[in-house]
C-alpha cells in the first residue's frame, strides 16, 4: 500500500526562497518503508524550481502574498498539487502541520479530499501536537498524530489496513461517533539508532534540490533548556544518536547526492561537549572533506571546542541573542546574560568563524527603549550575519499563556482565521495591539527602522565577502551553490536587476 506525505506550500506562495527539505517527513518515510509501505514525499515548496527572496526585511509583506494565494483555489500551485497527488495514487495521505502555515494545511486537506474522497487523511507535526483538537476539527482530516510519529505512523497504517482497533494506537486523535477522541500518548523512542535513516530517495522532484539541501540532518533530538518562546515537545530531554549512526548517514548522503556541506539542526548542538568532540574527530577521518553548520547557545562554547569544530570543518554557527534589553532577555527564560553573549561573540570573532546572531523584537511588555537597546547591541556583538524576527506567539509556550492572560491573544481562534490572517498575526485578538506599551503605528515605524538597520548590516560588502569565504569548500565541490549565492548577494546589495 502507498503513503503520500505532503509538506503544504508556504514559502513559494510568499515569494521566499526555500532551503533544504522536510527532514521530519523523510524520517517518517524511512519508518513507513521499513514497515512495508511504499512512500513518497511531496514537498510543495520544491514541486517547481526554487525561486524567491532571501531578504527577510519585507517578511510581513511576503506573508500577505501567502494569504492571497492559499485562498485562490485556481492558483497554479494548487492545480499542480492536485495533479501530482492524483498521479501518486496513494492509499493514505499524511500532511505535516506547522503553525505559521496552518491555513495551507487546511486547504491541502480540502483539495486532497475533493480529488480523492475515499483516501484517509492524517495530519501530524508541531501544530497538530500543540492543538490536536483544532486540527481534528478540520472536516477533511480523519486522524491526527501527536508528537513523534516514527513508530505511531506505521502502527496507524497497519491498523487502518487491517481495520483494527484504533483505540490501541498511541498518541492518536481521531473521531468516533461524532466526537473527537484522544488516545494516551505513546512514549518517545529512546534509542534513536533503532530508527531508519531519513529516506531522501522518497522525495519527489529531486532535481529541485541542491547538494547542500540534502545535507540537513540531526545528531540528537530535544533541548534541556526552558526558553519561554519555545514549545518543549520533547519535555526538555535530549537523546543522542551514536557516532556510527551519524557517520553512516553522512557517508550515504555524500555517496548518493555528492553532498559535502551539512547542516546539523540539533536544537543545541554543543549541549554535550564530549558528543561534539567525538563527532569532530570522526569528521576528520572521513575519506572526503566536509563542512558543517550548526545552532547552539552562547553559554555552551569555549575556545578549545571552537578550535576543534573549526578544524573539523565548521563553516557557520548560529546562536540566539534575542534582545539587547536585560529585562526582555530575562523574560525569554534563556538564562543567559549580555556578558556571556559578548564573551562568546569575541571568541567567535577571534577564531574567524562565520556566525549568525538571532534577535527578536515585539515581546508583549517591550518598550521603545528596549527595541533601541537591541539595535545598539547588534553593533556591540558584531555578528557576521544578524537575523531579526518579530515575536510570534506559539501555543504550548510560556509566553503564549502570558499573552492570553494579558488579553492580547485568543487561544482558540476558528479555523477560518488561519485562512484570512497574516501568519505574523495569528492568535492576536487585534493585530494592531501586539504590545502593551507601544501603539501599533509606532511599532510599525520601529520595526521598519530596525529591519532596515539589520539589512544594512547584513548587506555590508565586507560581511558578504566573509560569508562567501566561509562557504568556499562547499563552492569547490558544488559550483552551482556559488552561482546561486552570488545572485543572492547581488539581491542583498540591491543589484538583483543585473541578473535579469
- How are beta strands 2-7 and 385-390 bridged, if at all? unpaired
pLDDT tens-digit map of 379-392 = 999 999 999 999 99
- pLDDT over 70 for what percent of the chain? 95
pLDDT for 491 beyond 70: no
What is the C-alpha end-to-end distance of the chain, expressed in Å?
46
pLDDT in tens, 437-461: 999 999 999 999 999 999 889 887 7
The pLDDT confidence band at residue 55, using thresholds 50, 70 and 90, is low
Task: Give percent of the chain with pLDDT exceeding 90.
Answer: 84
Instruction: Output the pLDDT for position 233.
Output: 76
Residue 55 sits at φ, ψ, to 5 deg, of: -90, 105
Closest-CA residue to 363 (of 337, 320, 330, 395):
330
Torsion angles phi and psi, residue 325, rounded to 5: -95, 125
Those residues with Cβ within 8 angstroms of residue 329's Cβ, 6 or more apart along the chain or in another chain = 322, 323, 336, 337, 338
The answer, yes or no, to whether residue 500 has pLDDT greater than 80, is no
- Checking if the pLDDT of 111 tops 60, the result is yes
What's the pLDDT band for 497 if we cut at 50, 70, 90? Answer: low
- Mean pLDDT, range 389-416, rounded to an integer: 94
What are the boundaries of each domain within the chain? 2-178, 210-393+428-488
Looking at the domain that runs over 2-178, which CATH code has it been given? 3.40.50.2300
Q: Is the pLDDT of residue 78 over 80?
A: yes
DSSP 424-466: GGTTBS-TT---SSS-HHHHHHHHHHHHHHHHHHHT-HHHHHH
Which band of pLDDT confidence, cut at 50, 70 and 90, is reported for residue 268?
Answer: very high
Question: 37: Cβ–Cβ under 8 A, 6 or more apart, which residues?
Answer: 1, 2, 3, 154, 157
Report which of 423, 421, 393 is spatially closest to residue 408, judged by C-alpha positions. 393
Question: pLDDT at position 499, please?
Answer: 52
Q: How do the residues of the chain divide into helix, strand and coil, expressed in percent and rounded to 5?
A: 50, 15, 35
pLDDT of residue 319: 97
Q: What are phi and psi of 329, to 5 degrees?
A: -60, -40
Q: What is the pLDDT of residue 392?
A: 92
Average pLDDT, whole number, for the chain?
93
Q: Is the pLDDT of residue 475 over 70?
A: yes
Q: Are 365 and 330 in contact (CB under 8 A)?
A: no
pLDDT of residue 495: 66
pLDDT at 205: 95
Kindly tell me if the per-residue pLDDT of 169 is higher than 60. yes
Q: How confident is the model at residue 141 (pLDDT cuts 50, 70, 90)?
A: very high
- pLDDT tens, position by position, 82-92: 999 999 999 99
Q: Which cell goes with 283?
A: 569528521
Q: 210-393+428-488: what fold?
A: pyruvate-formate lyase- activating enzyme (3.80.30)
Answer whether residue 483 shows pLDDT above 90.
no
What is the predicted pLDDT for the residue at 496? 57
List the Cα angle 177/182/187 in 5-degree steps: 145
Find the mean pLDDT for residues 248-270.
96
Q: Are 338 and 324 in contact (CB under 8 A)?
A: yes
Task: Evaluate if residue 487 carries a pLDDT over 60.
Answer: yes
DSSP state of 183: P
Identify the pLDDT of residue 446.
Answer: 96
CB 145 within 8 A of CB 153: yes
What is the radius of gyration, based on Cα positions, of the chain? 22
- Asked if 352 and 430 touch (Cβ cutoff 8 Å), the reply is no
* Higher local confidence (pLDDT), 468 or 192: 192
Amino acid at each position: 500500500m502507498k503513503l503520500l506525505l505532503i509538506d503544504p506550500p508556504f514559502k513559494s506562495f510568499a515569494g521566499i526562497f526555500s532551503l533544504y527539505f522536510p527532514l521530519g517527513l523523510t524520517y517518517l518515510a524511512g519508518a513507513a518503508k521499513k514497515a512495508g509501505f511504499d512512500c513518497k514525499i511531496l514537498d510543495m515548496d520544491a514541486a517547481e524550481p526554487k525561486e524567491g527572496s532571501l531578504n527577510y526585511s519585507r517578511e510581513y509583506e511576503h506573508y500577505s502574498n501567502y494569504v492571497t494565494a492559499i485562498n485562490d483555489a485556481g492558483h497554479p500551485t494548487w492545480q499542480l498539487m492536485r495533479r501530482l497527488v492524483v498521479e501518486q495514487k496513494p492509499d493514505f495521505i499524511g500532511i505535516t502541520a506547522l503553525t505559521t502555515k496552518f491555513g495551507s494545511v487546511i486547504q491541502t486537506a480540502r483539495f486532497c479530499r475533493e480529488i480523492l474522497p475515499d483516501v484517509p487523511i492524517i495530519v501530524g507535526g508541531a501544530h497538530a501536537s500543540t492543538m490536536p483538537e483544532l486540527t481534528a476539527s478540520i472536516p477533511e482530516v480523519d486522524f491526527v498524530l501527536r508528537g513523534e510519529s516514527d513508530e505511531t505512523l506505521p502502527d496507524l497504517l497497519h491498523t487502518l489496513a487491517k481495520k483494527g482497533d484504533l483505540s490501541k494506537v498511541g498518541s492518536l486523535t481521531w473521531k468516533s461517533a461524532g466526537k473527537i477522541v484522544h488516545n494516551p500518548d505513546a512514549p518517545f523512542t529512546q534509542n534513536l539508532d533503532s530508527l531508519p535513516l531519513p529516506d531522501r530517495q522518497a522525495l519527489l522532484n529531486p532535481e529541485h534540490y541542491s547538494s547542500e539541501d540534502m545535507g540537513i540532518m540531526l545528531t540528537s533530538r530535544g533541548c534541556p533548556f526552558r526558553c519561554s518562546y519555545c514549545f518543549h515537545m520533547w519535555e526538555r530531554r535530549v537523546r543522542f544518536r551514536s557516532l556510527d549512526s551519524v557517520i553512516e548517514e553522512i557517508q550515504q548522503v555524500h555517496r548518493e547526492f555528492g553532498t559535502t556541506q551539512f547542516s546539523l539542526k540539533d536544537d543545541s548542538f554543543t549541549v554535550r561537549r564530549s558528543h561534539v568532540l567525538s563527532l569532530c574527530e570522526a569528521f576528520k577521518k572521513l575519506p572526503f572533506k566536509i563542512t558543517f553548520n550548526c545552532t547552539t547557545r552562547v553559554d555552551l562554547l569555549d575556545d578549545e571546542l571552537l578550535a576543534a569544530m573549526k578544524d573539523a570543518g565548521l563553516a557557520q554557527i548560529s546562536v540566539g541573542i534575542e534582545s539587547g534589553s536585560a529585562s526582555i532577555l530575562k523574560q525569554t527564560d534563556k538564562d543567559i546574560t549580555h556578558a556571556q553573549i559578548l564573551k562568546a561573540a569575541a571568541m567567535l570573532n577571534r577564531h574567524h568563524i562565520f556566525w549568525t546572531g538571532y534577535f527578536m523584537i515585539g515581546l508583549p511588555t517591550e518598550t521603545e527603549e528596549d527595541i533601541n537597546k537591541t539595535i545598539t547591541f547588534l553593533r556591540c556583538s558584531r555578528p557576521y550575519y544578524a537575523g531579526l524576527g518579530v515575536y510570534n506567539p506559539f501555543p504550548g509556550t510560556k509566553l503564549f499563556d502570558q499573552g492570553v492572560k494579558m488579553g492580547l491573544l485568543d487561544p482558540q481562534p476558528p479555523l477560518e482565521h488561519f485562512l484570512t490572517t497574516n501568519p505574523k498575526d495569528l492568535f492576536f485578538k487585534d493585530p494592531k495591539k501586539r504590545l502593551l506599551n507601544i501603539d501599533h503605528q509606532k511599532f510599525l515605524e520601529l520595526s521598519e527602522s530596525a529591519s532596515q538597520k539589520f539589512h544594512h548590516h547584513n548587506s555590508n560588502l565586507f560581511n558578504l565577502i566573509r560569508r562567501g569565504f566561509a562557504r568556499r569548500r562547499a563552492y569547490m565541490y558544488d559550483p552551482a551553490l556559488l552561482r546561486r549565492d552570488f545572485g543572492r548577494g547581488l539581491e542583498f546589495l540591491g543589484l538583483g536587476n543585473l541578473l535579469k
